[in-house]
Amino acid sequence: MKNAKYIGIIAGFCLIGLIFAFGQIFSVAKIDVYYEKAPQTAKTEEIIQASGISIGNNIFTIDEKAASQGVEAFYSDNSVAVLNIERIFPNKVLLHVKERIPVFAIPVKDEAEKCVITDQNFVRSQIVPSSDSLLNTLIKVQGYQVSNTFNTPEIIKLNEIRIGFNELGIAEEALNAFIKSIVFEEGNAAIVLRNYEEAQLVIDISSNENIISNIKLKYNAFLALSVEDRFGAVL
């Protein structure tokens, strides 16, 4: 009977030791951030802190949903999205993150001195002064002003233009490098190129269904020109 008592006590101590050792082995010792592309404004330290994941947390008790929401709430302009939170056993955590690249600069309605910066999918929403030097590297939208939503006919047409160029293999940073501005006119959008002495591709946008095909036609017509003829061309 006495031996059984001692065996029970020893077993209890062993169990406590195992629980302690288990907790130590699976305590988070390293947290890192993997970016889909090199970040422009996002900072690793800010992302980790906003996630709420700390060194010493048990890797099994991490709330992935809460961590993702914490990061995305910290970047209130929707510039950062958490794609995945990876547990690397026994004690490492890797946050997979995408920074939404600024592409368009759109004037804000009734605020002449401000523009909203957004990505090619119109998720990011960052308001900056019209004098911000970052705007010089983005596609400036003219002839249209955004108010409190991207769900407008003009933005739908702008998105169709973007899709057209994406399908031609031109996306995000390449879009910025190729296009200087997009000017909305009645029934048309003049796409002003950043090079070639501001050559223009004038696209009929009266029908959303034809915008992508119109983009491809004008782009291919532009490529068909000799290099010399591309400069200043209006197609």
Q: Does residue 51 carry a pLDDT above 80?
A: yes
Q: Does residue 10 carry a pLDDT above 80?
A: no
pLDDT, tens digit, 9 for 90 and up, residues 80-121: 999 999 999 999 999 999 999 999 999 999 888 999 999 999
- % of the chain surpassing 70 pLDDT: 90
Residue closest to 139 by CA, chosen among 156, 119, 153: 119
Residue closest to 162 by CA, chosen among 191, 188, 200: 191
Domains 28-99 and 104-230 share a fold: no
The predicted pLDDT at position 13 comes to: 39
Question: What is the residue-averaged pLDDT of the chain?
Answer: 89
Q: Does residue 14 carry a pLDDT above 70?
A: no
Cα separation of the two ends of the chain: 99
Using CB atoms within 10 Å of the CB of residue 63, give its burial: 0 to 12 exposed, 13 to 18 middle, 19+ buried: middle
Q: Does residue 75 carry a pLDDT above 60?
A: yes
Summarize the confidence of residues 58-63 as an average pLDDT.
93
Separation of alpha carbons 167 and 216, rounded Å: 9
Separation of alpha carbons 5 and 159, rounded Å: 75
The predicted pLDDT at position 229 comes to: 97
CA angle 146, 130, 126 (to 5 degrees): 55
Q: What is the value of pTM for the model shown?
A: 0.83
The predicted pLDDT at position 5 comes to: 52
Name the CATH topology of 104-230: Rossmann fold (3.40.50)
**Domain residues of the chain, as ranges?**
28-99, 104-230
pLDDT, tens digit, 9 for 90 and up, residues 142-184: 999 999 899 999 999 999 999 999 999 998 889 999 999 999 9
Band of the pLDDT at 186, cuts 50, 70, 90?
Answer: confident
Band of the pLDDT at 2, cuts 50, 70, 90?
Answer: low
Which of the listed CATH numbers 3.10.20.310, 3.40.50.300, 3.40.50.720, 3.40.50.360 matches domain 28-99?
Answer: 3.10.20.310
In the chain the beta strands, taken as DSSP E runs, fall at 30-35, 80-88, 92-99, 104-108, 111-118, 126-129, 139-142, 179-185, 188-193, 200-204
Q: Does residue 124 carry a pLDDT above 80?
A: yes
The predicted pLDDT at position 59 comes to: 95
